[in-house]
Structure formats: structure tokens, C-alpha cells
Amino acid sequence: MRNLKVCISYNGAAYHGFQRQNNAPSVQQTVEEALSRLLGQSVTINGCSRTDTGVHAKEFYFNVKIDNNIPCDGFIKGMNSLLPHDIAVHSCCDADDDFHARYCSKGKEYIYVVNMSPVRDVFSGKLALHYQGALDIEKMNKAARLFIGEHDFGAFCKAEAKEHLKSTVRTVTFFGVSQEGNKAVFTVRGNGFLHNMVRIMVGSLIYISEGKRTEEDIIRALETGDRESAGKTIPPEGLYLNRVFYD
């Protein structure tokens, strides 16, 4: 058996997240169906992450055990001809037997894109959040530094998800905001992320820009786990899994 490490990208607008669901289209199911057509065998893939409904990935890894000697180049071309237009395979290589896309990941980078054009951009409807007004990039950047380091991010986690976790302590290694034209791009890197963590962190910075939260609120949220001191969970359409780090 070979263990393939495969990099894909996907536009999440039409999918109920990466993970296979009952009665709803998922990226996993779509990829597994293309794989079974290409290989003539039914396989299960291990994704590096779950992503929520409507969340995108510019770089997403999965591994899959296959009993087939198809060359990697043929695998890429074959998969791209079988997959729909909103999922693409970028690379494929043979990995060690014990490589697992999720458990071997050392960290991830997400970006969140906010479009600040006065009128919504009809070409990025499901690819960015439309925000009417100008966000205060400098103020948000200053507050973003508060998140860097090892913290209990319990206040920045979907309530139902928290119950199933042993720990809500994570390490954020970078969090910054840049302006590109009329877009604000939030970039965050860390060793792991809780459910909705990036969307609540970015939502908190937007509240900071709007004066609805202060830096003290963020510090309190990180110290006490108080969800109310953080900001709201912003919609999924601006969120992209951007990079996944391995040794």
C-alpha cells in the first residue's frame, strides 16, 4: 500500500465544509468519489482539518492509502479531470507509511478577507465579507498582538464545541492585518485552532475598530474565558485555510 500526500484547493461556497456529512455535499465526499472513479477502489481520505460550511482552502492536505501504482503526475491530471471546477489538485507525492495529514501538521495559517468597497463587489460575493465603511487597520493591528502567544482561547470557541475538548489552550504565532486596495486581509498562524476561533478573533478586531470592544475586553476574554468580552462570530465566506505546516 502507498500513502499519498495530496495538496488541494477548494472554493467552499457550494459545500457544507470539508468533512463528509449525511445529506449535504462535502469536499471530502466529492474528492472520495473522484478517487474511487480514478482508482477503481473505494477509499477514505484523512483531511488536515475540518472546515465549516462556506469556508475556503487555498492549501489543504489529505493523505490516502491506495493500492495502485499510478504515477503522481497522472494522479494529479486524472483527479483534475474528474473533480468539479471548485476543487483542484495541486500536488501529490508518496509519503512515509505513518504520515497523517492531520496529526503530523505542525501548524496552520488562515486568512480572512474583508471587502470594504462602498457597494458590494458582485465578483467576490461568496469569497469575502462585505463591510460597509472603513476599518481602522492600525487599531486592529495593535490589538491583534494581544492574541500572540500561548493562551486559553476558550472565549474564542463555539460553545457546543468546547464541551468535547480536553483543553482550549493554543499558541498563536502571528496575527496581523494588512490593507490591499479596498480589502482588509487578516492573517493568523498558530499550532492549532478551536472551532470558530479565527472567525471570533477577527470579529473581535472588527468590534475593536468599531469601538464596541476595547483592548481591555480582549485581555479579559483571554484571561477569564468570558465569551461576551470577545466579538461576534463573523460569517464563513471571508475565511481561507491558507497554509499548512509540516516538518
Query: Which active-site residues does the annotation give?
Result: 52
The CA R_g of the chain, rounded to the nearest whole Å, is 19
Cβ proximity to a copy of itself: between 123 and 211 the closer is 123
C-alpha–C-alpha distance, residues 115 and 185, integer Å: 9
Smallest gap, in angstroms, from Cβ of residue 116 to a copy of itself? 14
Smallest gap, in angstroms, from Cβ of residue 120 to a copy of itself? 5
Start-to-end CA distance of the chain, whole Å, equals 23
C-alpha–C-alpha distance, residues 102 and 62, integer Å: 8
Cβ proximity to a copy of itself: between 125 and 149 the closer is 125
Smallest gap, in angstroms, from Cβ of residue 9 to a copy of itself? 5
Cβ proximity to a copy of itself: between 127 and 148 the closer is 127
**Whether 9 contacts 59, CB under 8 Å:** yes
Q: Give burial (CB, 10 Å; 0-12/13-18/19+) of 166.
A: exposed
E-state strands within 165-238: 169-180, 183-190
Smallest gap, in angstroms, from Cβ of residue 98 to a copy of itself? 28
Residue 159: count of CB within 10 angstroms of its CB: 10
Residues β-bridged to residue 65:
3
Cβ proximity to a copy of itself: between 77 and 232 the closer is 77
**Interacting residues with a copy of itself (CB under 8 A):** 9-11, 56, 76, 80, 85-90, 119-123, 125-127
Smallest gap, in angstroms, from Cβ of residue 121 to a copy of itself? 8
Cβ proximity to a copy of itself: between 85 and 164 the closer is 85
C-alpha–C-alpha distance, residues 10 and 27, integer Å: 8
Q: Which three cell numbers stand for residue 41?
A: 477502489
